[in-house]
Amino acid sequence: MRLELPFFQRDSITLAQELLGKLLVREIDGVKIVTKIVETEAYMGAEDKAAHSYNNRRTPRTEVMFGRAGIAYVYIIYGMYYCLNIVAAKEGIPQAVLIRGVEPIEGLDILRKNRIIKSKKIQDLTNGPGKLCQALNIDKTLNGSDLILDNKLYIIDNKEKHETISAKRINIDYAGEYKDKLWRFYIKDNIYISKK
């Protein structure tokens, strides 16, 4: 079952945990790539010094986070990689969840084709925010795309059980007291985690 608005319309900490185990589907020309979300991070908006939308900073880039939940926020990092986020909370509250790791379920051949790397470890295909965007062919044209109404990218439910681990977020040393918040979540023992 495809996930609808009420699922996304919660604070980003709750959504980040709820997204674990769910299936992220990417459709390109009718062909589906299916992955399982195994690692996420919550960005709590106005109060969160690590968030692009800290202090309600509203710019062309952060604009989508102020919009409706269930919209994709895709931004460019280090001039060469993309990061995929899902907008959380009510309109006007700029929270989002960063997808940091996914496990391939269907379409492994396409993921391989999209990721030309020397490493032969299967986990290096999608165990990081920039890596999974490359593997799933997610770029800035998907910024603002609607995971509830559009077919390019969406989430479907999965009842499978798993154990969730909470940890500090990665690479946000600039965030003062917010750098130590345990707002990173991942599925215990999964190999597609970006970092232990």
> Could you say whether residue 177 binds DNA (CB under 7 A)?
no
Q: What are phi and psi of 195, to 5 degrees?
A: -160, 140
Which of residues 56 and 151 has its CB atom nearest to DNA in the complex?
A: 56
Which of residues 89 and 96 has its CB atom nearest to DNA in the complex?
A: 96
Q: How far is the CB of 66 from DNA (least distance, A)?
A: 12
- Both structure tokens of 41: 């991070």
Options 6, 118, 159, 177; binder of DNA; rule CB under 7 A = 118
> Could you say whether residue 15 binds DNA (CB under 7 A)?
no
Which H or E run contains 130?
A: helix 129-135
Options 35, 53, 145, 190; binder of DNA; rule CB under 7 A = 53
Say whether 142 sits in a helix, a strand or coil.
helix
- Rounded to whole angstroms, the Cα distance separating 72 from 156 reads 15
Options 11, 106, 124, 146; binder of DNA; rule CB under 7 A = 124
> Could you say whether residue 128 binds DNA (CB under 7 A)?
yes
Nearest to 162 by CA among 71, 40, 70, 33: 40
